[in-house]
Copies of this chain bind each other. A is one copy, B any other.
Amino acid sequence: MINKLVEKIKKTNAPIVVGLDPMLNYIPKHIQDNAFAEFGETLEGAAEAIWQFNKAIVDSTCDLIPAVKPQIAMYEQFGIPGLQAYKKTVDYCKEKDLVVIGDIKRGDIGSTSAAYAVGHLGHVQVGTKSYAGFDEDFATVNPYLGSDGVKPFIDVCKEENKGLFILVKTSNPSSGEFQDRLIEGRPLYEWVGEKVAQWGEEHMGNGYSYVGAVVGATYPEMGKVLRKLMPKTFILVPGYGAQGGKGKDLVHFFNEDGLGAIVNSSRGIIAAYKQEAYAEFGEKNFADASRQAVKDMIADISGALEGRK
């Protein structure tokens, strides 16, 4: 799956991923109205609005991008119907041949991590049959529990040719509270990054490992260090746009081959129509605004990558 991701990035010339993290207040009124007319102001109504919103954005951007990253929390908040919309979104994106990174940030003790891995990336056995529960292509994983919380994910990835992105340095303001603390003179995130590189050796693709890392766009200097520490690790970079990261901050997340990183934008793409820069599209044409925002983001990042040559 890492090979497919790299191929698709090369083909689209777009090292970006669209974060499908729909808040109800991002969703244009006409979509909410239609969904509520059919299902009422219920969890099912909210889920339908999310699904219609996602579908329109995917339809409008799928030829430009290699991957999407639905954030499961945004669906889980609407309970079971929300998770049904998540699953529908995953399936639809896969139909469109997009690589789907499930942003689930799971992680637990061994047997429990194995259950998450099976549910999101693998197949679960029921009597003589087996089923895929959510079936994303990649999943994000929290490393706080150490190797035996991560290994079961890697085992399932090996069976299924799927991949991971493991949290190393997160994009949020207080990520340094624990992640930046010095251990033998080096911050915790470097120790975690080193482990990610080691874990990655267990499951290599062509050039890059199936085991990637998450490093926030908001910490470019740290990205630079981590890039060198994990040369064969693909880095998923959240925090572009709305969270403050800019193209020029991101060049050091990439290797000299122009690969090695994929930059996520969520709000900046899916709610583009709400920004002044895209206001001309109007709420009805929100998906066209998203398409333009994708093009602008690709230009920003490609320009920055060109600029460093």
- Interchain nearest-CB distance for A151 vs B (Å): 9
Among A107-115, A225-233, A255-263, the one that faces the other chain is A107-115
Kindly state whether residue A128 has any CB partner on chain B within 8 Å: yes
Kindly state whether residue A2 has any CB partner on chain B within 8 Å: no
Contact of A174 among B79, B129, B149 (CB under 8 A): B149
Q: Is there an interface contact between A126 and B87, defined as CB atoms closer than 8 Å?
A: no
Kindly state whether residue A80 has any CB partner on chain B within 8 Å: yes
Q: Is there an interface contact between B149 and A178, defined as CB atoms closer than 8 Å?
A: no
Q: Is there an interface contact between A119 and B82, defined as CB atoms closer than 8 Å?
A: yes
Kindly state whether residue A148 has any CB partner on chain B within 8 Å: yes
Kindly state whether residue A134 has any CB partner on chain B within 8 Å: yes
- Interchain nearest-CB distance for A165 vs B (Å): 13
- Interchain nearest-CB distance for A3 vs B (Å): 27
CA of A56 to CA of B109, assembled, Å: 26
Among A69-77, A276-284, A300-308, the one that faces the other chain is A69-77
- With contacts A42-B131, A133-B76 taken as known, whether A108 is within 8 angstroms of B108 at the C-beta atoms is no
CA of A84 to CA of B87, assembled, Å: 14
Q: Is there an interface contact between B124 and A145, defined as CB atoms closer than 8 Å?
A: no
Contact of A36 among B41, B82, B106, B127 (CB under 8 A): B127
Contact of A80 among B87, B110, B147, B170 (CB under 8 A): B87
Q: Is there an interface contact between B73 and A79, defined as CB atoms closer than 8 Å?
A: no
Q: Is there an interface contact between B105 and A106, defined as CB atoms closer than 8 Å?
A: yes
Among A9-17, A58-66, A187-195, the one that faces the other chain is A187-195
Chain B residues, Cβ within 8 Å of A222: none
Kindly state whether residue A46 has any CB partner on chain B within 8 Å: yes
